[in-house]
Every structure is written in C-alpha cells, then in structure tokens.
Amino acid sequence: MFAVFVLSLFLQNLAQISALGSCWTDGQCARHSPKFKTIPGNLTFSTLSRLVLKFNAIEMVTSVPEMPRLTHLVLSYNRLKEFPWSSLHNAPHITNLELDNNDITRVDAYVDFPRSLTHLRLQSNRIASIPETFLTGAKPFGNMFYLWMWHNPFRCDCEARWIARSRRCVLAHRGDGCVNTTPERVESCMLANCNFHPNGVVIILDVPENRYISQLIHTFVLKCYSPIELKGQFVRDVNLPTCPSNSHSTSVKPQGTEAYSPSTSGTQQVEKKELQVTFSGQTTTDSNLRTPSTGFWKAFTAIFLGALLAVLVVASFSVRSWQRRRKRTDRLHRARMRRRARDRRRHQDERFEEETGF
C-alpha cells in the first residue's frame, strides 16, 4: 500500500510539472492550478503563437504584453470587466481574440485593430452597446471580419441600428449565398447586398446565425434588453432611429456602455458552454483550433506517463513477489536447519546409549 501511495504521489507531481512546463513554454494555461488572476509575467512571450488562459480567475488585464508572434489570445471564461483595446498593437500578428464569457460591460468607441485580426468573440458578456465606430479601425487583409456578440443585454437605440440593418439584410438574402456556404460566396453576397459599414469591410455577425438562420434556436438570436418597451424583441425586427451625425465620428474618445445587472430570469442567464467557431479553407465550420505541435507533445506526454505508470506498477508487483518468495525460502531454510539439528542430537543420543548400555 505504501508503494502505491508513493507511486500516485510521484505521478501527481510529474503531471503538475508537465502542466507548468506546458504553460511556460507553449502558453497552454487553461484551468491552471492555482488559478491566475492576471496574465502571468514569467511566460516566454517572445516565442508564443497561442496564449490560452480560459477557465481561470483573471479580473484585470492592464495591458496586452508584447508578443510579436502571437496569433491567438484566449481569455474566455474569466472575470474580466474591461479590456485594454489600445494595447492590441503589442500583438501585431493576432488573428483571433476570444473574450467571451466574461463580465465585460463596455467597448471603446474606436479601436485601431491590427490588420491581421479577423475573429473577435464578445458573446456572453454584459455589453449593452457596440457602436458602429468600434469596428471602423478593423481593416483585415482578407476584407472579412467576424464578430460574435450574442448573449449580451443589448440596448436597442440608434447605436444598434447598424446591427439591426445587417441582420435584416442577411435574412432577406439568405437564399443568395450570404449564409450556409463557402466564405468566398458569403463575401461576394455580402459585398453585393449587405456591405453597409463605412470602412468597406464585410462584417459577419454571429456565425451560427448566419449559417443556420432557418434552423436557429432563439438562444443565439440577438434580442433587446432595454428599453423596457422593446425588451425581448429581436434586434433585427426593431426599427431604430438614426444617430446624430457627430456621434459616429472616429475621433470620439472611447465611451463605455451601461453596465448590466444580471436578472434571475432563465431567459437572460448565460449558460457558459464552450463554442469554438473557426474558419476553414472550404466552408465556415465549427472546430477546436489546435496547433499540431501542441497536440503532438500532449499525446507524447500522455503516452510517456502511461508507459511510466505501467513500468512502475510492474516493478512494484515484481518487487513484492520477490520479497514474498525470499521470505518463503528463508522460512523453509530455517525449518530444514532445525530438522537437521534435531536429527543430529537424536543420533548422538542413540550412539551414547549404545556405548554406555543405558
């Protein structure tokens, strides 16, 4: 039993060391123990291509560290209330930024996004408004920008008009190739029919809805949370007024949106399930982004630990079996020696009786 306890302790320590090494070297820091409360400062930022910090307890990020090779930054399922948008230039090659399932209450009025950024996840937060100017600085090389925003308590006012207009247009042209087809056809359809954003970039909102409009469950349809007279209505079905022209100026200072106080209503509670939606070469698909090297090393570590466990278990049983055989051999040897001693004494007594006549 002691050997089994020592073995389990050794394997636990080995697994923890392996996890720490994975976090430090390749940025795989999800579900870290103990949980991170901010981005750790001892990572190899200069070589990281992915930094995955989901399912921790991060409450604040004051600045995005300088990561010249980073393409994916994953901060999902934390406790962020805001994000330092102005420091995104520290990751000049970032393509995917995942901030979903946090407590973010606002976005800036204008962000100078890196040109490499094409996928931004903001769903399942507490954001009340995303102004059209927020994406004016998005100018990706491929001219397509994916924004996820469902499960937010949206305020249906003039700042949501661009969202409602885009939703209605996609719904109207769902049979023309704006949904459920290859990215090339989606881009062509959107450019021809629904390209309303001033920066000329095709903005794709909430990929699941754009792919499956006719089959979409209401969970993923953006609804109004305020004002009270519009609460519960689909954003795409609401006719909203046009904002004054000066409210869309790109020189506006970053403005916050009103905070959201979660209600006890079941329809407003965000069920935090992982949804990985990415972009393939042929069509818009759901998958889990993983780098081949990361998968290889994780598989190698699992195989190594499994083989080590098997060797240690076999060695433990072999040692215990050898010890049992050794004890049994020792007992038999002592028993033989005692019998021989008794036989010698009996033989000596018999000879003494013959010689003396007693």
C-alpha dihedral (64, 70, 75, 81), degrees to nearest 10:
20
Task: Tell me: do 284 and 299 sit in the same domain.
Answer: no
Domain limit, last residue, from 289, 312, 329: 289
> Are 284 and 146 members of one domain?
yes
Looking at the predicted structure, is the pLDDT value of residue 269 above 70? no
Mean of pLDDT values over 216-243:
80
Residue 20, pLDDT > 70, answer no
Structure-block tokens of residue 66: 């300088």
Quick check: 98 and 118 in contact, CB under 8 A? no
Q: CA-based Rg of the chain, rounded to a whole angstrom?
A: 34
Q: Which residues contact 23 (CB under 8 A, 6 or more apart)?
A: 29, 32, 40, 43
Cα separation, 26 vs 23, whole angstroms: 6
Structural domain that includes position 339:
294-358
What was the pLDDT predicted at 106?
Answer: 94
Question: Does residue 110 form part of some domain?
Answer: yes
Residue 301: pLDDT over 90: no
Q: What is the tens place of the pLDDT at every residue in 325-340? A: 888 888 888 888 888 8
The whole-model pTM stands at 0.65
Q: Which residue has the higher pLDDT, 22 or 83?
A: 83
Would you say residue 72 lies in a domain? no
State how beta strands 50-52 and 72-74 pair: parallel
- Domain assignment present for residue 178? The answer is yes
**Whether residues 277 and 158 fall in one domain:** yes
- Same domain? 263 vs 135: yes
Contact in structure between 136 and 179 (CB atoms under 8 Å): no
Same domain, residue pair 140 and 241: yes
Check whether the bond before 84 is cis (ω within 30° of 0).
no
Q: How many domains does the chain have?
A: 2
Residue 331, helix vs strand vs coil: helix
- Is-contact 205 135, C-beta < 8 A? no
Tell me if 104 sits within 8 A of 129, measured CB to CB.
Answer: no
C-alpha closest to that of 255 among 159, 141, 355: 159
